[in-house]
């Protein structure tokens, strides 16, 4: 059995949230992902873990990198992968989320990877289908595989996660990446800080397990990891922050602010970046930037999640 | 003084035989004050009769020597409406009225909502103004109440507070976000509280007088509704909030309640609303058309008690120059606003002479309180503070004559009014910028 390989393995039918994930489960996934990352660097990248299985990418919200990352992960595990860009299909014709789910369910997929603009939508969908469901981002709620790829990147670069100070900077209010990372990093024993203007901070972030800073220099002091978040353009023209210029001045990662972090601090960004808004161009290309490694680890982590889930699928 | 003391540099000025009134500490005692290098070098009873060698001596003849007035609400016409008022003419009016620091409002053309415009005002003030000019920048772009301005960068450029000028922000979400965002910079948000929909079309206070005159009135609740909303927003955001010009007893009650809950809420009032009421409009006198409108005598009396009790923090002139083109119209079609820099102190002293407000609390609302709110080093008589000082003859009688006023526009509600109390000398950063006697001669 799988538990023989991983003493505390990941045994879940769905991956919907990082809230409640145990350290053992996370470590098991990261170990699997390390192996997948190794495999992805070989000439022959394909394994037959999901041979004969069907994976549907169901994206109600446009995505380039997450969707292609899942697609590649599924294909490297030999699954039959179908991409459904729902924003241009039946939903546009008025079909409800539940009806779309039931329709797809009737096609007997094994794994559904779902992104939706409304928080909780993926969980609702998971209640209605017979297959496994992976949350690829629901509103401002959760993006579990992003947090897992982030901790994998950290673990590979630093050799550990426990005891590190991680500063998550930017639009915390609207960020599912921030929420998933706060969960996972806390579980793994890191000290989490969030850094943002008050207008981009949700209420009681401290109770989620993060120290709150509205002054970026203070928030970056002695940080091991500086994790930048994307600020959407429509939020930086006077509603939440006055302008991109002011935002970059006070909350953009530049050399001066980065100097407050530890000399070996890693720079991370889930992408896509707005150069000159939340991150200076030269910082994005800095030697300590692991932004491209994050993309590589994205495929590995998604393979690990799919592989762990495959063991629980019917007829395994 | 010991003889070994080096003789003071030529810029030293000694005020002798003064009644030193420091509203910040409440001290009111005979003494003298020495200015050197633009700051208060020393003060106290020991300097009452003795000036150091070489110092310029000003004999106060027992009159009040106190910090210069800090006027938190001054509208000018620069840039864009220079025919009404420039920074230069406003500052000359300020000096004559004992105002050593004026806070100029962003309601200009263009609106002061960008760093480059803050810089423009600073340079114009440096080159032309005879008193200190501080800038209250716009908190929404174009004062339109929608998109917040670069509060952080504007503050770094020198804006000392943020306001939406003469307009209330109607959108509660915008007000919420501005207060929340400003909190991160400890920036003061000064808000004019009048519900724009409720006052739409109104030209004076709603009540018997408006009814008799046949003019559309604005209910004072228009003011209190916005204020109550704002206090609730302060409670959830923690932003520093100043109600720029309240005018009725109900608003004062809201501010009092907020203060008793330790919220960072303060309020100001224009001297017009402390000394005039809606009856002064009489036969449609447009110089009494103000925003907020002049209220009833009951409200005026309540506001005076608010000053005496210290519940109202700041008295402003709300100096708002308007020329004849916009004032010489039927009341309902005239512009709002009245000038007031030169009459602020004299009008306020009416409350002192009537016995309603003590001299110290009265001056405090024009010196120490605004200084504290705005983070200014002036506004108090202490060693090291900027030598922004005025000598005031509390008893000197005079009649306001608009021709003599230095303001470029002449829309004073106090024209031809009898006043008691006049500024004799105004000093800004150690330089005498106004002397009553010499002005009289000229």
* Contact indicator for B316, B73 with CB cutoff of 8 Å: yes
| A237: chain B residues, CB-CB within 8 Å | 147
- pLDDT tens-place string over residues B286-332: 999 999 999 999 999 999 999 999 999 999 999 999 998 899 999 99
Q: Which of A215, A238, A240 sits opposite B141 (nearest CB)?
A: A238
Using the Cβ of B180 and the Cβ atoms of chain A, whether some distance falls under 8 Å is answered with: yes
Residue A6 has a pLDDT of 47
Contacts of A287 (CB under 8 A, 6+ apart): none
Are residues B184 and A245, on separate chains, in Cβ contact within 8 Å?
no
User: What does chain B come to in residues?
Assistant: 442
This model of the complex carries an ipTM of 0.88
> How confident is the model over A63-80, as a mean pLDDT?
95
Query: Above 60 in pLDDT, residue B372?
Result: yes
Longest C-alpha distance within chain B, in Å? 75
Residue A101 has a pLDDT of 85
> Which H or E element spans position A308?
helix A291-310
Q: Which of A194, A213, A246 to mutate to test the interface with B (most CBs of B within 10 A)?
A: A246
Are residues A245 and B153, on separate chains, in Cβ contact within 8 Å?
yes
Residue B440 has a pLDDT of 52
DSSP state of B186: T
Distance CA B424, CA B427 (A): 10
Burial call B224-234: b when 16+ CB within 10 Å, e when fewer: bbbbbbbbebb
Strand B188-191 to A111-116 pairing: unpaired
* Contact indicator for B378, B323 with CB cutoff of 8 Å: no
Residue B2 has a pLDDT of 42
Calculate how close chain A gets to B182, using CA atoms only, in Å: 9
Q: Which of A240, A242, A249 sits opposite B149 (nearest CB)?
A: A242
| A243: chain B residues, CB-CB within 8 Å | 150
CA B236 to chain centre: 29
Residue B1 has a pLDDT of 41
| B141: chain A residues, CB-CB within 8 Å | 238
Calculate how close chain A gets to B183, using CA atoms only, in Å: 8
Place of tokens 């509203």: B23
In the three-class reduction of DSSP (H, G, I as helix; E, B as strand; rest coil), residue B397 is classed as strand
Query: Above 50 in pLDDT, residue A16?
Result: yes
Q: Which of A214, A215, A246 sits opposite B150 (nearest CB)?
A: A246
Using the Cβ of B288 and the Cβ atoms of chain A, whether some distance falls under 8 Å is answered with: no
| B152: chain A residues, CB-CB within 8 Å | 242, 246, 249-250
> How confident is the model over B133-154, as a mean pLDDT?
97
Distance CA B424, CA A264 (A): 65
Calculate how close chain B gets to A116, using CA atoms only, in Å: 26
Q: Minimum mean pLDDT among A275-284, B93-102, B165-174: which range?
A: A275-284
Residue A237 has a pLDDT of 75
Chain B residue with CA closest to A213: the answer is B184
Cα-based angle A150, A152, A156 (whole degrees, multiple of 5):
120
Closest CA to B68 of B105, B88, B96: B96
Tell which phi-psi region holds residue A206, choosing left (phi > 0), alpha (psi between -120 and 50) or beta.
Answer: alpha
Q: Which of B151, B183, B237 sits opposite A242 (nearest CB)?
A: B151
Cα-based angle A127, A131, A135 (whole degrees, multiple of 5):
65
Chain A residues within 8 A (CB-CB) of chain B?
197-199, 214-215, 237-243, 245-246, 249-250
Calculate how close chain A gets to B193, using CA atoms only, in Å: 21
Query: Above 60 in pLDDT, residue B185?
Result: yes
Strand B39-44 to A225-228 pairing: unpaired
Distance CA A198, CA A214 (A): 6
- pLDDT tens-place string over residues A177-199: 999 999 999 999 999 999 999 99
- pLDDT tens-place string over residues B206-235: 999 999 999 999 999 999 999 999 999 999
Task: Give the tokens for residue A253.
Answer: 């990662």
Q: Which of B151, B153, B177 sits opposite A239 (nearest CB)?
A: B177
Q: Which of B148, B155, B183, B233 to mutate to test the interface with A (most CBs of A within 10 A)?
A: B148
Confidence of residue A203 (pLDDT cuts 50, 70, 90): very high
| A197: chain B residues, CB-CB within 8 Å | 181, 184
pTM of the model: 0.92
Are residues A249 and B140, on separate chains, in Cβ contact within 8 Å?
no
Burial call B74-100: b when 16+ CB within 10 Å, e when fewer: bbbbbbebbebbbbbbbbbbbbbbbbb
Using the Cβ of B155 and the Cβ atoms of chain A, whether some distance falls under 8 Å is answered with: no
- pLDDT tens-place string over residues B231-287: 999 999 999 999 999 999 999 999 999 999 999 999 999 999 999 999 999 999 999
User: What is the residue-averaged pLDDT of chain B?
Assistant: 95
Using the Cβ of B146 and the Cβ atoms of chain A, whether some distance falls under 8 Å is answered with: yes
Are residues B184 and A214, on separate chains, in Cβ contact within 8 Å?
yes
> How confident is the model over A77-95, as a mean pLDDT?
78
Residue A2 has a pLDDT of 42
* Contact indicator for A209, A186 with CB cutoff of 8 Å: yes
Distance CA B159, CA B151 (A): 9
User: What is the residue-averaged pLDDT of chain A?
Assistant: 92
Using the Cβ of B48 and the Cβ atoms of chain A, whether some distance falls under 8 Å is answered with: no
Please report, for residues A248, A283, A314, B241, B401, the alpha-carbon distance to residue A53 in angstroms, rounded to integers and kept in the order given: 46, 42, 11, 61, 94
Burial call A282-303: b when 16+ CB within 10 Å, e when fewer: ebbebebbbbebbbbbbbbbbb
Residue A235 has a pLDDT of 77
Residue B442 has a pLDDT of 39
């Amino acid at each position: 059995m799988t538990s023989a390989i991983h003493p505390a393995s990941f045994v879940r039918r769905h991956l919907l949230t990082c809230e409640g994930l145990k350290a053992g489960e996370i470590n098991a996934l990261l170990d699997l992902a390390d192996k997948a990352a190794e495999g992805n660097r070989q000439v022959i990248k394909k394994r037959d873990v999901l041979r004969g299985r069907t994976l549907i990418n169901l994206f109600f919200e446009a995505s380039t990198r997450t969707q292609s990352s899942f697609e590649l992960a599924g294909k490297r595990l030999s699954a039959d992968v179908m991409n459904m860009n729902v924003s241009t299909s039946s939903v546009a014709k008025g079909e409800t989320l539940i009806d779309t789910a039931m329709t797809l369910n009737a096609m007997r997929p094994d794994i559904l990877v779902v992104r939706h603009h409304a928080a909780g939508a993926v969980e609702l969908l998971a209640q209605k289908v017979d297959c496994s469901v992976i949350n690829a981002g629901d509103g401002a709620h959760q993006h579990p595989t992003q947090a897992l790829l982030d901790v994998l990147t950290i673990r590979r670069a630093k050799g550990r996660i426990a005891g590190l100070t991680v500063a998550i900077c930017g639009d915390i209010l609207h960020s599912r990446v921030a929420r998933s990372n706060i969960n996972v990093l806390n579980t793994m024993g890191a000290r989490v800080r969030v850094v943002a203007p008050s207008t981009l901070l949700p209420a009681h972030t401290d109770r989620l397990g993060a120290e709150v800073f509205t002054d970026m220099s203070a928030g970056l002091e002695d940080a091991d990891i500086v994790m930048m978040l994307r600020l959407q353009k429509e939020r930086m023209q006077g509603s939440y922050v006055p302008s991109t210029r002011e935002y970059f001045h006070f909350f953009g990662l530049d050399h001066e602010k980065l100097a407050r972090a530890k000399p070996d601090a890693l720079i991370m960004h889930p992408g896509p970046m707005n150069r000159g808004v939340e991150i200076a161009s030269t910082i994005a290309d800095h030697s300590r930037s692991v932004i491209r490694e994050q993309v590589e680890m994205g495929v590995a982590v998604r393979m690990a999640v799919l592989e762990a889930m495959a063991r629980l699928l019917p007829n395994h | 003084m010991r003889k070994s003391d080096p003789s003071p540099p030529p810029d030293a000025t000694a005020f002798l035989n003064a009644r030193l009134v420091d509203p910040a500490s409440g001290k009111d005692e005979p003494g003298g004050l020495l200015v050197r290098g633009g700051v208060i070098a020393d003060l106290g009873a020991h300097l009452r009769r003795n000036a150091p060698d070489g110092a310029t001596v000003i004999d106060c003849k027992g009159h009040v020597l106190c910090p210069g007035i800090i006027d938190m609400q001054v509208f000018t016409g620069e840039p864009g409406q220079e025919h009404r008022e420039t920074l230069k003419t406003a500052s000359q009016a300020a000096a004559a009225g004992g105002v050593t620091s004026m806070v100029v409002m962003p309601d200009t053309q263009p609106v002061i909502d960008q760093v480059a415009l803050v810089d423009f005002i600073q340079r114009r003030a440096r080159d032309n103004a005879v008193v200190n000019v501080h800038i209250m920048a716009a908190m929404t772009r174009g004062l339109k109440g929608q998109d917040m301005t670069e509060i952080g960068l504007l503050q770094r450029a020198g804006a000392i507070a943020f306001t939406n000028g003469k307009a209330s922000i109607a959108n509660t979400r915008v007000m919420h976000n501005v207060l929340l965002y400003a909190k991160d910079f400890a920036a003061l948000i000064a808000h004019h509280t009048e519900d724009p929909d409720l006052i739409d079309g109104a030209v004076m206070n709603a009540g018997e007088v408006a009814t008799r005159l046949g003019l559309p009135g604005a209910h004072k609740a228009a003011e209190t509704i916005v204020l109550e909303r704002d206090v609730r927003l302060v409670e959830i955001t923690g932003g520093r909030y100043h109600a720029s010009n309240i005018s009725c007893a109900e608003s004062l009650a809201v501010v009092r309640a907020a203060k008793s809950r330790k919220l960072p809420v303060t309020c100001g009032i224009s001297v017009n609303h402390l000394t005039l009421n809606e009856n002064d409009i009489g036969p449609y006198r447009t110089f009494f058309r103000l925003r907020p409108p002049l209220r009833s005598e009951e409200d005026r009396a309540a506001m005076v008690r608010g000053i005496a009790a210290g519940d109202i923090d700041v008295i402003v002139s709300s100096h708002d120059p308007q020329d004849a083109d916009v004032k010489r119209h039927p009341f309902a079609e005239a512009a709002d606003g009245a000038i007031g820099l030169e009459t602020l102190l004299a009008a306020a002293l009416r409350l002192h002479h009537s016995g309603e407000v003590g001299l110290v609390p009265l001056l405090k609302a024009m010196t120490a309180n605004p200084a504290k709110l705005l983070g200014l080093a002036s506004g108090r008589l202490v060693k090291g503070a900027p030598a922004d000082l005025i000598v005031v003859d509390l008893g000197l009688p005079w009649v306001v004559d608009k021709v003599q006023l230095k303001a470029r526009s002449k829309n004073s509600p106090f024209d031809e009014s009898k006043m008691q109390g006049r500024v004799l000398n105004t000093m800004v950063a150690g330089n005498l910028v106004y002397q009553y006697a010499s002005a009289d001669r000229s």
